[in-house]
Structure 1
Amino acid sequence: MKKHLVRIVGGDYRRTSIPVIEAAGLRPTPDRVRETLYNWLQHLWAHDFSQKRVLDLFAGTGALGFEAASRGVAHVQMVESNPAAVAALRSLRSRLKADHVRIHSGDARMVLDRTSADPFDLVLLDPPFGQQWLDTLWARLPPILAPDGLVYVESETALVPPEPFELLRQGKAGQVHFHLLRFAAAQKKVNNPETS
């Protein structure tokens, strides 16, 4: 049986193959979707990734996070709970000599609750479907995001993000909806006008 692979589509590690392990709920982001996302980011970040910090919260194969590392971001933090996936991520990081990639084995919510590092410019969210992960994550994201930080989300249905997130771009590939959101840190809640 042929082993399933995905490939990094751009940057320093372009064409590097990433093995896809057998794991429940593992659903690597397709090449063309990753290419679309990073085209969006190139436009929004004026082709300069060099100072950006990225959190890949459900890393899986690492395709999204290693794509960011390949394009020259300053730091990538990956989080994954499956031990076999974590081992595969660490093996790939070693093969690429990607010292700016950190890999954490653990639960996404716990990592968010305990993160005290510098804020992230981009959070990548591709959680297992059918488990209502996003409902538990929205309120945990603002403390770890830089002002005007971005959030990429894959989901089973099209999203209407809660405040203070605004939808910038969206698309659909097969059964997967993908979205790029901005954290509008300066956005103030609209006060109800007095009616006296």
Structure 2
Amino acid sequence: MQKKQSKPAKVPVHRAPPPQQVRIIGGDWKRTPLPVLDALGLRPTPDRVRETVFNWINHLRGGDWSNAQVLDLFAGSGALGFEAASRGANSVLMLDSHTPVVRQLEVVKDKLKAGAVTILRGDAFATAQGMAQRGQRFDLIFLDPPYKQDFLAKALPLCVNLLNEGGLVYAEADAPLPFAPQDGEMPAWLAPWEPVRADKAGIVFYHLLKLHEKPA
């Protein structure tokens, strides 16, 4: 008897996974998904963390976003900036240095008809320095830079001259900010700041900061 020829094994088809997404938590665009460009290794602030942070901010602002001037210095997916705009921020300036990211942010802005949002491409530190020199000020600054590159140590000193009186800075990192170091003194770049709230979710350490009040 002639042996039946075995069918060739099926070669699995590797399909690209669907684009990673995060969602807007609250406001006019609640539950709107925001795409994340995997190729660039973006690490958007998780939904759970954003929900907590915006609850903090909302409480401190008494729920009023109508006069809030917001700066998102490392915009990435835009999750933080678009969240602020969704809640009614007066203006949101979003900055990123990667052209594909900026293009994606523009697509989302157009889709949402987000007139209060301005998107810029540029280096975060040079742009922040230029804005400070021009006298631009903000009520809320988001700092969610790439981890392990010491970016917060460079960005927080620039924020001293970018923040309106009573303003807040959100800072995200892969380690707690060393406000109470076990060995040695607090680093100089952190000295002007005091923590308002801080928490941890998984490997994400997130902090809400304000400047120390100047003596009368």
After TM superposition, is the score higher than 0.5?
A: yes
1:62-85 CA-to-partner distances (Å, cap 9, x unmatched) read: 000000000001000000011111
Residues 53 and 75, structure 1, Cα contact 8 Å, conserved in 2:
yes
Q: Which residue is equivalent to 1:79? A: 95
Q: Which residue is equivalent to 1:138? A: 156
Asked if 1:6 is matched to 2:34, the reply is no
Residues 25 and 129, structure 1, Cα contact 8 Å, conserved in 2:
no
The secondary structure found in structure 2 opposite 1:102 is: strand
The secondary structure found in structure 2 opposite 1:19 is: strand
Q: C-alpha separation between the residues in 2 aligned to 1:39 and 1:71?
A: 11
CA RMSD after TM alignment = 1.2
Q: C-alpha separation between the residues in 1 aligned to 2:22 and 2:135?
A: 30
Q: C-alpha separation between the residues in 2 aligned to 1:149 and 1:100?
A: 19
1:147-184 CA-to-partner distances (Å, cap 9, x unmatched) read: 12100011011013523211010111111100000123
| Percent identity over paired residues | 46
Q: Which residue is equivalent to 2:138? A: 120
The secondary structure found in structure 2 opposite 1:140 is: helix
Q: C-alpha separation between the residues in 2 aligned to 1:120 and 1:19?
A: 27
Q: C-alpha separation between the residues in 1 aligned to 2:151 and 2:194?
A: 19
Q: Which residue is equivalent to 2:3? A: none
Deviation at 1:130?
1.1
Range moving further from structure 2, 163-172 or 21-30: 21-30
Residues 42 and 76, structure 2, Cα contact 8 Å, conserved in 1:
yes
The secondary structure found in structure 2 opposite 1:143 is: coil
> What code does the residue aligned with 1:79 have?
L
Q: Which residue is equivalent to 2:182? A: none
Q: TM-score, normalised by structure 1?
A: 0.92
Q: How many residues align?
A: 187
